[in-house]
Amino acid sequence: MTDEPSGGLATDGERDLKAALRQFNADAATTRSGGRTARVGEAVIDAALIELSERGYANIRIDDVAARAGVNKTTIYRRWGSKSRLIATALVERHAEMNPIPDTGDVHADALTLLKEIWESLRAPWVAPLIAEATTQRSIGATDEVRTVLTELLSSRYRHSKSIFERAIARGELPQSANPELLLEAMCGPVYYRGLVVGLPVDDAYLKSVVQLVLSGFSSMLPGHSVQET
């Protein structure tokens, strides 16, 4: 039996997930408004993430999410429309709550905090199953949806994270010629490779060395100025 109602919104997974992300601010505002609607929303989001952590995306059933949250499954379909939209919204909402973009006025401190948050996010119990599922393709039918969830989650964070380096350029900590996208990719690349591809330990000392190496390289293009390690 399928979890998706006939004619549901999940007939086009990518469209569905992108719509979920566009509506995230409205959903978050509803959740914060208080009352039963807020409690139901929080319960369903929590239940969905627990199911994702324990079962993986392909094995999530809306019936199980509803039972864990203590609601009727029609409540979930009425608000989120499909499994894919529910999971996308849950991931983006929880990620935004846990990982605000740092803004201390110091690029080194901001970059180090950001990199720590990114690494912790990749290890989160509700993200790790998606990464494993997308890379091993355990469920061919769910692969496209899983990849879309990951792509939208990471690209959303990517767009906002660039602001750290844009502010640093505006403050004169980095040269005007510095490329914020390249800075972010240069920092994240080694962490992804070491932690996810090779499977080696990623600790604070390693993250700190990556940040210092990348920022020092870019700041060397700024005459008379260098990024000091904190």
DSSP string, 39-67: HHHHHHHHHHHHHHHHH-GGG--HHHHHH
- What number does CATH give the domain 100-219? 1.10.357.10
Q: How far is Cα 186 from Cα 129, in angstroms, rounded to an integer?
A: 25
Query: Do 100-219 and 9-94 have the same topology in CATH?
Result: yes
Q: How far is Cα 107 from Cα 230, in angstroms, rounded to an integer?
A: 10
At the second CATH level, the architecture of 9-94 is: Orthogonal Bundle (1.10)
Residue-by-residue pLDDT tens, the chain, 230 positions? 444 333 333 334 445 444 544 444 445 444 445 577 788 888 999 999 999 888 888 889 999 999 999 999 999 999 988 888 888 788 777 776 656 788 999 999 999 999 998 888 878 777 766 776 666 655 444 556 666 766 766 777 777 889 999 999 999 999 998 999 999 999 999 998 898 888 899 999 999 999 999 999 887 665 555 445 54
Q: Residue type at 139?
A: S
Q: Residue type at 24?
A: F
Would you kindly state where each structural domain of the chain is located, as residue ranges?
9-94, 100-219
